[in-house]
Amino acid sequence: MRERDQDDPWHTEAVCRRDEAGLFFAPSKEPTAARLSREEAAKRVCARCPVMVECREHALLQPEPYGVWGGLTAAERRVVLTRRRRREVELRQAANSVDQIRAAG
């Protein structure tokens, strides 16, 4: 694999751009079993992608509401985002507690 240039966007190296792009987004009225099978196939493509982490972070930061990005479905990304937000709140609360203890002491 060639080294990416700083001006070369991460998605130019994405495996999904070269093949199997239809795996990543659901057709309308897709039956559940077909969706689950398609998503697992998409995740297998993601697993061999050299920019999977960049893709996942892009989808989390946007946030992308549909499709498989970086090996995660939209539902899985919502869980990750919820956990990140909860962790950020916990860290802020812990920092505030430390500040209060320091101020009191």
Residue the block writes with tokens 């057709």: 27
Percent of the chain clearing pLDDT 90 (strictly above)? 61
Residues 3 and 1: their CA atoms lie apart, in Å, by 7
Residue 72's SS3 state is strand
**pLDDT tens string 27-67:** 889 999 999 999 999 999 999 999 999 999 999 999 899 99
DSSP 3-36: PPPTTS-GGGG-GGGTS-GGGGSPPTT--HHHHH
Burial class (CB in 10 A: 0-12, 13-18, 19+), 93: exposed
DSSP-assigned letter for residue 93:
H
